[in-house]
Chain A
């Protein structure tokens, strides 16, 4: 079924709809490893663990007092972190279904939370325009470090082996390089809603509120490609790489999932894509391993699992 040329087509056939959430779903994340499970968090203050293959809800995590805005799963799938409107970050034990740690300190709602590779450090970005780095190994309550460079709410974070990438509404993507001990702030000019680096760390996919998804070269900060056509002006939407990083996928505010060729920035067929969600697609995530699976969640309260039609 592999096409003769060009990147592989996006999985566009609806496999399952996970619709137990009441109210908008803000985030959906694949588990680590083989990524057989999906975690989603929404406005109904719950986090739900799903089996996307079967479309069944496995577990419901309830402790948040406000909406859940972000989830990050640890490398070993034993715990995950979540954050939301209640200004603290919760660390959960997956099997027990209880919070093992509640990290309070942010002054505003915590938009994004991210664990590092071995789940020893947790980074949380908040509406209070700070990024706090918490130590999960020691019982200390205070954060290790507070990154206060952002001038507006931090909307997206990415933590890899040596860098912390924070995207903020002030239009900057800030890359904190631990090894070099330097901070590279790239000005995008528009509020940044997501920043996803490629697996080799040389490029960075940034989606902004001017209906653009831009691909930057991380070393020089130069623009490699800009992907347009979708509608993204006021909500936090996430753009991600497709399989093998050959494509760029982004759900827009009209409920359509857009896909572009990474290299020539052309919109993959169908163009324009059909509307698959009733409301804004808040999160798009491609399966880390499986080339033919993708998951989206939307403000219409559903999480949809997409696969190839085969």
Chain B
């Protein structure tokens, strides 16, 4: 409103209201006027009832639909202005089915978005629908296939034509519209003769059942049988038969004699008349040759396969032969199990017994034979030596599967043939180093990492059977795991193998042999075992670093001497012993290395400087007090830069203000530290949790200066002055009637009140003066008095330094006044006060109604005061003002 008026006014003045200048805002405090032109600010607040919903094209939506009313959806969508008015039925001969009164379609109620959505939905072919090509879905085809064995083509076709099409595809629908029916072939119609030929019948052969009428018609072409490819739903390889026995699947043919004499030849390319059937020509995918080898009591494949053959050829002859070729099953009734029971109906007892495992008799042990494992070990050793010597294991030796699989590497073969190895790319940096240096490094390494290994045998890698997936453990991990938790203590043999594994990996050069594959252990098992070891080595190595010190290993449960299962091999023993010796040799060395000097000194009894550590310690101040010891005023040792900077500050005072500043701050910090009395007061952690001295400064109670007390309580003097004055007055008034003494003191009881707190301080040094809050009397009279006085002070120029009232109805007032002019003020004030008092008294604005004094008192003042009235007033002129009026004043 006001903006519009302002705008008009400015327009009258000839100022362009839309210019930037006119809209400039100079408002610093308060709410600026709204801009002159309507802002385009979309974030502007609009009350709820003014808000509008618009779509992305800026059209208004929700036309009052949510506010109620009939206009819902009128503008953008549908209906009339009145809303959903029902249209009346109109019948007109002239105006038929025009656009006007045609039945409403859903499209009529749609807007653009809906229409585009609908158009998107209308597609020629719905890709979601299951495509059916002539025969329907796969399921149906298979269903049809099952029933095909006992139905001929005609019934099938009949059935097809009779049965409703499960769901027509678009193509089928088009074909149907073109006149095609299910069960017919596609193509131009053919004559009866053509049809007969197509069915493989001789049209010229007369038959009884063919009537003449049939020859006059044209027929639809013969339906082309659909080649149905069986879906492969499994993961078997091509040609694999799941029902095959062990021998059959391995391809071993123990019963070759049973095989039919003529091999089934692979289809496709035929054999020449002169060619014999070769191995290559045999149909490898032919299952029939395996039938005979099946040893199942009941072979499901048997019937199935024959039927499959039957089905695949749909020609008449094949069908007929298939019917003939139904297997002649022996009647199940006659054959029984050995115990007389009959097999289940439909099952046949196999004539051949189920193949048993081959068993060999155990060789006879000579009577005078005594076990001598040493012989075996020696032989093994010799073997291993042989292995080392010979690159290739002799073929006569039993080979594991893995060995057999890997075969001989090219290098090995080359070595056997005596070839010079091909120059390959150097694999290690050591190969670039000269021989001499290599030796030197080796020596250094050997001397550092333990005793040099005397046996310089090569890695047992090539000779030993390498498991297919050998897991490797880093030497340091293995070394650590040796000292760590032993996971297989329950299984001593496994534990022994585990430690052997660790030893082998901890020091690969030491010649410790990793556990070899056990006899009777498959390579997979061995690989798994090794990987288990690697895992547990990674898992159970002791915690390293700082964490290690926090744990102590629990006491090891001593289960007596460890029993090692299996054959005792003395060859392994010394090696392990040597290894453990190495470990024990190394261990104390490490400990010695870790030993702190002071521990070492203490052990040697060299107490003194080495074992003593001196650091600062700040005793609590109270502790010092209790002990009667002076608080050791510790220097701030943390702030090392502080004192130096401070010392340097005077030198660079002129040139480097930054240094000066640093010095100053350091000094300040030091002062702070000193005052708080804590040596560790770090500036960085002040206010943080670690700050021990937190809150010290806040909570420490310091006795304020005497001036404060003076400032606060100095009014007491005045009060006492006043009181004294008043008492004087009272004395003046009351002394003569000594009789009333007991009664009167009870009267001025209410007079004894908190000091009137007019903030006037006498004899206060300006330099030390501090403003104080003084509670004021809550009586309006006092407030008035105060106000008046303040006014007075304000008027008297230069009197008060600062004086302001916080609130007028007697809360608190802060008054800062100087002592200098106070007497004058008071002097000038007093008469006024007195006058006011009198006025008030006359006006009867007294605060309390005083009990009328006892008669005797009443009587006495009349006697005493009446002559004194004038004098009293004059006396009060010069004397200090009275705090409040008394009953006497009103009389």
Q: A residues near B, CB below 8 A?
A: 116, 120-121, 133, 135, 137, 144-145, 161-162, 171, 176-189, 214, 216, 220-223, 226
Contact = CB atoms under 8 A, between A and B. Distances in A.
A181 B634 contact: yes
B847 interface: no
B619 A187 contact: no
A222 B608 CA distance: 4
Contacts of B605: 223, 226
B630 interface: yes
A178 B612 contact: no
Contact of B620 (A116, A144, A177): A144
Contacts of A137: 626
B679 interface: yes
B626 A145 contact: no
Given A178-B629, A181-B616, A182-B616, A223 B623 contact: no
Contacts of B607: 186, 188, 214, 216, 221-223
A176 B613 CA distance: 12
A59 B601 CA distance: 49
Contacts of B137: none
B608 A221 contact: yes
A176 B614 contact: no
A121 B626 CA distance: 7
B174 interface: no
B614 A183 contact: yes
Given A183-B614, A221-B611, 12 more contacts: A144-B623, A178-B627, A179-B632, A182-B615, A183-B616, A186-B612, A187-B602, A188-B607, A189-B599, A220-B612, A221-B609, A222-B608
B611 A187 contact: yes
Of B611, B624, B634, the most chain A CB neighbours within 10 A belong to B611
A187 B599 CA distance: 8
B605 to A, nearest CB: 6
A162 B627 contact: yes
A162 B603 CA distance: 30
A148 to B, nearest CB: 11
Nearest to B630: A179
Contacts of B609: 220-221
B629 A162 contact: yes
Interface of B: 598-599, 601-603, 605, 607-609, 611-620, 622-624, 626-630, 632, 634, 679
Contact of B598 (A120, A121, A180, A187): A187
A230 B608 CA distance: 24
Contacts of A182: 614-617, 632
Contact of B623 (A177, A178, A226): A178
Contacts of A188: 602, 607, 611
B679 A181 contact: yes
A135 B617 contact: no
Nearest to A222: B608
Nearest to B607: A223
Contacts of B615: 182-183, 185
A145 B611 contact: no
Given A137-B626, A188-B611, A145 B616 contact: no
Contacts of A121: 623, 626-627
Contacts of A185: 612-615
Contacts, number: 93
A120 B625 CA distance: 10
Contact of A189 (B603, B613, B624): B603
Given A186-B607, A223-B608, A135 B616 contact: no
Given A187-B598, A222-B607, A120 B617 contact: no
A117 B620 CA distance: 18
B627 A184 contact: no
Given A178-B629, A189-B599, A144 B613 contact: no
A144 B621 CA distance: 9
Contact of A179 (B611, B612, B626, B629): B629
Contacts of B614: 182-185
A116 B627 contact: yes
Nearest to B602: A189
30 contacts: A135-B626, A144-B620, A145-B619, A145-B620, A161-B627, A162-B629, A176-B617, A176-B619, A178-B624, A178-B627, A178-B629, A180-B632, A181-B616, A181-B618, A182-B615, A182-B616, A183-B614, A183-B616, A186-B607, A186-B612, A187-B599, A187-B611, A187-B612, A188-B611, A189-B611, A216-B607, A220-B612, A221-B607, A221-B608, A221-B612
A183 B617 contact: yes
B800 to A, nearest CB: 46
A144 B617 contact: no
A135 B608 CA distance: 34
Nearest to A161: B627
A135 B602 contact: no
Of B612, B615, B627, the most chain A CB neighbours within 10 A belong to B627
Contacts of B620: 133, 144-145
B632 A116 contact: no
A245 B585 CA distance: 47
Nearest to B623: A144
A184 B617 CA distance: 9
A135 B627 contact: no
Cβ-closest 8 pairs across A and B: A181-B632, A189-B602, A221-B612, A183-B617, A223-B607, A187-B611, A222-B608, A145-B620
A144 B626 contact: yes
Contacts of A223: 605, 607-608
Nearest to A138: B622
A164 to B, nearest CB: 9
Contacts of B626: 116, 120-121, 135, 137, 144
A177 B612 contact: no
Contacts of A216: 607
Nearest to A226: B605
Of A182, A214, A216, the most chain B CB neighbours within 10 A belong to A182
Given A120-B626, A188-B602, A223-B605, A181 B619 contact: yes
Nearest to A159: B627
